[in-house]
Amino acid sequence: STANFTSYTNRDFTYDDLKRLSKLCKKLDSKGCKFMLSNSNSEEVLKIFSNNSWKVFEIEANRSINSDSKKRTGHSELLIRNY
């Protein structure tokens, strides 16, 4: 049953992971690849991804994964793209 679902992995996505992701995006950008990603709206994500020419937007994302439908709420995320 998925009623007890809490995460996709037992490993946290760390600040170092964010830096690695940013490095990969820079590599893709330098090769002319277009990318778009979303991540949580946090100071760390904003700091890492806003210091270049990429576009960073704050968006509202609905969450439908809570087992209690009354607790399903909107959540602010950052949408980052290089085009």
Sequential pLDDT tens for the chain (83 residues):
455 556 677 788 899 999 999 999 999 999 999 999 999 999 999 999 998 899 999 999 876 666 777 776 778 899 999 99
Q: What's residue 63's pLDDT? A: 67
**Angle (CA) 21 79 47, round 5°:** 55
What is the reported pLDDT for 6? 60
